[in-house]
Structure 1
Amino acid sequence: MTYLEGQFLVAMPGMEDERFAESVILLVGHGEEGAMGLVVNQKLANLRFADILDELDLGDPDAVIRLPDTIRDRTVMRGGPVEKGRGFVLHSSDYHSGNTYKVTEDIGLTATLDVLRAMAFGPAPKASFFALGCCGWSPGQLEREIAENGWLTVPFTPELVFNTPVEKRYEKALESLHITRATLSSDAGHA
């Protein structure tokens, strides 16, 4: 079995679970125990990074208010339907704490408060992505979904997560496979 950790999953048009329609998911873990990922193209409406800092009491309220708008108004993403109240930060490899999980040579995943403080008050990772919740698959479940034509796999590029506008990530992922929504078919072929 080839594990897909560090690759993207792109939902096919026939995705039956509406929570994943047109989603792009970065697999941060995949092995015999199952798989875990973060949706990278769905924003949480009406929630900003400053709201998270306030709720978790991660800094003096005056310091949070003085943060640059680029930090205060940073988008909070919907990482998936599992553990919706838990935060996950996908970040460049220049940041590392004792709690960072190395996903690829380029990126790590940290789910502790230290990375949120670093993102707000420094030293911050060069690139980062904050999401609430994650996606999970039991052993063999993801493999079945891929075999049933539920997902395409796309090689990881940091540009897709860190430099592409959220609303363009689905199309950009498809472009990397040289296809578009118009040429994408939900019909599977098996030889």
Structure 2
Amino acid sequence: MKSLDFDIFKAQKPGLKPARGRILIAEPFLQGPYFSRSIVFLTEHSEDGAVGFVLNKSSDLYPDEVIDDLFNFKGELFVGGPVSSNTLYFIHTLGDKVPNAVKITDSLYWGGDFDAIKNLVNTGLADHTQVKFFAGYSGWAPGQLEGEIDENSWIVADVDDEMIMNEDIDHIWTHAMEGLGDVFKAWTNFPENPAYN
């Protein structure tokens, strides 16, 4: 038997630091209803902590079922994280059409005037390809996220904006992991619960 000269569980990660506009990819054995095999889009990161939204956890609801005066919105309502889960948040590609929106990347924005978003949707000027709604968010206190990254709970990666708005949430974790290279591609084959192996 030949011994391996590397540990697959301590694979060389990209070495990126968490920052606004980057994603967090959960390692394959991170457990819990919010973060198991999740992708989190960071909308804020500073010495005060971090804020992000889980991209691939559906609530099985639609925003127009829970938002008054929002009509015919075809996209899902996503579970953004465990913090303030009774509050709605949104990211979008509508830029200055939404007053007070915070620019995250070249084409992605966070929040802004909620009535403006509803008006754009209701008049057919925006749809689910341009707006994602979230119930709750993911938040970390100062230094907390860095500690979790050091413990190998998360891999920080860059991503193109199209992936953030993509509707194929069932495969986003696998695609993100495969994009990191062969060792990480192998991680996608691990069972979600090691006890099932």
For normalisation by structure 2, the TM-score amounts to: 0.77
Matched ranges for 1:73-152 at <5 A: 73-110=74-111, 112-114=113-115, 115-124=117-126, 127-152=130-155
Seen in structure 2, the aligned counterparts of structure 1 residues 166 and 3 have a Cα distance that, compared at 3 Å, is: closer
Q: 1:6-63 CA deviation, whole Å, 9 max, x = no partner?
A: 1010111232444211010000000000000000000002x1122123xx2x25xxxx
CA separation of 1:17 and 1:183: change in aligned 2, threshold 3 A: closer
Structure 1 residue ranges without an equivalent (≥5): 185-191
Q: In the alignment, does 2:163 pair up with 1:176?
A: no
Number of residue pairs matched by the alignment: 170
Aligned-residue offset at 1:183: 7.7
Mapped partners of 2:146, 2:94: distance in 1: 28
Q: After the TM superposition, which parts of structure 1 deviate over 6 Å for at least 4 consecutive aligned residues?
A: none
CA distance in 2, matches of 1:50, 1:164: 17
Amino acid at match of 2:118: L
2:63 to 32, 49, 52: 49
> How large is the Cα RMSD of the aligned pairs?
2.3
1:10 alignment partner, one of 22, 25, 30: 25
Go from structure 1 to structure 2 and tell me whether the alpha carbon gap of 1:76 and 1:100 turns closer, same or farther (over 3 Å shift). Answer: same
Q: Distance in 2 between matches of 1:162 and 1:2?
A: 22
Q: Find the residue that maps to 1:142 and give its secondary structure.
A: helix
Whether 1:25 and 2:26 are equivalent positions in the alignment is no
> Is contact 1:15–1:150 with CA below 8 Å preserved after alignment?
yes
Q: Verify the 8 A CA contact 1:3 1:31 in the aligned structure 2.
A: no
Q: CA deviation at 1:156?
A: 2.4
Contact 2:98 2:113 in 1 (8 A): no
> Structure 2, unaligned stretches of length 5 or more?
1-15, 192-197
